[in-house]
């Protein structure tokens, strides 16, 4: 007798279960899902040994683990292609946008978060980390707003309680009216961990602590965040070594290079992951790897702001987990993770050579690597016992015509939209349509919010 709600995703055109394609056909027959988990990998030409009551024909679809985004700023979807911020490098770009972002209101953030998550979902993303560090007086419960939006979309999230406490009056970059006091930051951080952080297997919401950057928070906030994170066993996140300007700021403000600064505030350990990680020297890379510090590579943002190229392969070789992030939608300006994996592959080839970076590397960074960066062992691969988070891509578009290796074609031919996406064993996208989200309504409300925000300045 078949088990209820047991699904066989049968005979995919190609499948990526772990770090390499299944050339041995160990899972070419697909996989079986029950109660939100993968319970069997099916060999080529075989039927499942598990009883099943539903069969999904995947014979025209490429099956990969759900993509995992390890760095974003959802609110920035409201300031895409803003004329005043075009053609600038990081510091002047931020100084242009801080006054705009200071006008954020709860409903604006809700629309921005929901749109970013929906866009990510359509690109095959099943887990997303967001770095929200703006808490003006009109938006003190920003993370609560994001939790609600994520629940509406049905995607897994790691929401990081960011902070800015070092304003221009004290030598920092942000204007004074967007910074918070240490007491306010730490009290809200502890509240959010207690209310929302779920460390259990298969959790949908996790919380991390994320002082924004060396040029926008005090040393005290970095140290206090590390202590609170250790107390509650949550992860730490920040921007680091994104630009040479940031390196110069650290040396002037603290008398330390970025990795020395990281160690001085008790962040040099395996519960930390960093966004960007571009300007490290060889000894710093070794120290980061030895400590197990994770790195989120943000290729499109790094190119847009001309920040540099993250030394991904060197960091991995040293022992650092490496994942992929689309970064904020005002420096990318889209939230498409399959495209970001393609961008990562090409940018890293520019650094290391075309024979040294493969499409398998890029898919691994965006799945298994990203899961390690977020400290999650239950997602990132298609293996028995893992959560049933997956994406299926149809290769019927013109861009794929003439391709021969389906997995390679996903990146080389530029896949853009997943045909089907599953999170925790439940379909969230079917036939290219997001279930439970009115796309036209969302876009209209989001565009209105963007116009209202820009008009405030």
User: pLDDT tens digits for 224-281?
Assistant: 999 999 999 999 999 999 999 999 999 999 999 999 999 999 999 999 999 999 999 9
Q: In this predicted structure, what is the pLDDT of residue 4?
A: 57
Does pTM surpass 0.95?
yes
Every domain of the chain with CATH number 3.20.20.140 lies at 67-373
Share of residues in the chain with pLDDT > 90 (%): 91
For CA atoms 174, 175, 181, 184, give the dihedral sign. Answer: negative
Every domain of the chain with CATH number 2.30.40.10 lies at 6-66+388-434
Residues 4, 62: Cα–Cα separation, whole Å? 26
Superfamily for 6-66+388-434? Urease, subunit C, domain 1 (2.30.40.10)
Residues 160, 418: Cα–Cα separation, whole Å? 27
Q: What is the mean pLDDT of the chain?
A: 95
Residues 179, 190: Cα–Cα separation, whole Å? 18
- Using the predicted structure, report yes or no on whether residue 20 has a pLDDT greater than 70: no
- Using the predicted structure, report yes or no on whether residue 215 has a pLDDT greater than 60: yes
- Using the predicted structure, report yes or no on whether residue 21 has a pLDDT greater than 50: no
Instruction: Please give the distance of CA 74 from its chain centroid, rounded to a whole number.
Output: 10
Q: Please list, in sequence order, all residues whose beta carbon lies within 8 angstroms of the beta carbon of residue 282, skipping any fewer than 6 positions away.
A: 314
Q: Domain 67-373: which CATH class? A: alpha beta
Residues 123, 125: Cα–Cα separation, whole Å? 6
Residues 52, 4: Cα–Cα separation, whole Å? 7
Omega prior to 333 cis, within 30 of 0:
yes
Q: In this predicted structure, what is the pLDDT of residue 401?
A: 97
Q: In this predicted structure, what is the pLDDT of residue 41?
A: 96
Q: In this predicted structure, what is the pLDDT of residue 2?
A: 41
Q: How confident is the model at residue 23 (pLDDT cuts 50, 70, 90)?
A: very low
Q: How confident is the model at residue 368 (pLDDT cuts 50, 70, 90)?
A: very high
182-196 and 142-153 helices cross at what angle (nearest 10)?
30
Determine phi and psi for 353, rounding to 5 degrees. Answer: 105, 145
Share of residues in the chain with pLDDT > 70 (%): 98
């Amino acid at each position: 007798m078949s088990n209820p709600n047991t699904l066989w995703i049968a005979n995919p055109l190609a499948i990526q279960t772990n770090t390499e394609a299944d050339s041995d056909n160990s899972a070419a027959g697909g996989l079986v899902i029950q109660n939100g988990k993968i319970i069997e990998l099916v060999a080529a030409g075989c039927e499942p040994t598990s009883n099943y009551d539903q069969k999904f024909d995947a014979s025209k679809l490429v099956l990969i683990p759900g993509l995992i985004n390890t760095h974003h700023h959802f609110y920035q979807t409201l300031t895409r292609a803003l004329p005043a911020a075009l053609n600038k490098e990081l510091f002047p770009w931020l100084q242009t946008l801080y006054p705009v972002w200071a006008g954020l209101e709860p409903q604006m953030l809700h629309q921005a978060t929901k749109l970013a998550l929906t866009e990510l979902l359509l690109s095959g993303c099943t887990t997303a980390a967001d770095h929200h560090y703006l808490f003006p007086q009109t938006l003190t419960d920003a993370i609560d707003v994001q939790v609600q939006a994520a629940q509406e979309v049905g995607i897994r999230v790691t929401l990081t309680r960011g902070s800015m406490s070092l304003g221009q009056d004290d030598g920092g970059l942000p204007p004074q009216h967007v910074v918070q006091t240490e007491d306010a930051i730490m009290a809200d951080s502890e509240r959010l961990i207690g209310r929302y952080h779920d460390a259990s297997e298969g959790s949908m919401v996790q919380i991390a602590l994320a002082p924004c950057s060396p040029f926008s928070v005090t040393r005290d906030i970095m140290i206090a965040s590390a202590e609170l994170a250790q107390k509650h066993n949550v992860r730490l996140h920040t921007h680091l070594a994104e630009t040479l300007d940031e390196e110069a700021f650290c040396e002037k403000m603290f008398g330390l290079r970025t990795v020395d600064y990281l160690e001085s505030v008790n962040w040099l350990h395996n519960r930390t992951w960093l966004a960007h990680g571009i300007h490290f020297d060889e000894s710093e890379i070794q120290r980061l790897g030895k400590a197990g510090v994770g790195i989120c590579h943000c290729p499109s943002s790094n190119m847009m702001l001309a920040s540099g190229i993250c030394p991904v392969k060197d960091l991995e070789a040293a022992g650092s987990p490496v994942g992929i992030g689309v970064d904020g939608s005002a420096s990318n300006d889209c939230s498409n993770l399959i495209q970001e994996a393609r961008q990562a592959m090409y940018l890293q080839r520019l650094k290391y050579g075309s024979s040294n970076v493969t499409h398998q590397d890029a898919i691994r960074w965006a799945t298994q690597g990203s899961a390690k960066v977020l400290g999650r062992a239950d997602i990132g691969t298609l293996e028995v016992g893992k959560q049933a988070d997956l994406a299926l891509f149809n290769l019927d578009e013109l861009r794929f015509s003439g391709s021969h290796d389906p997995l390679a074609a996903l990146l080389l031919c530029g896949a853009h939209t997943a045909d089907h996406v599953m999170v925790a064993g439940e379909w969230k996208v079917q036939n290219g349509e997001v279930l439970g989200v009115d796309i036209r309504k969302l876009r209209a409300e989001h565009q209105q919010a963007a116009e209202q925000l820009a008009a405030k300045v």
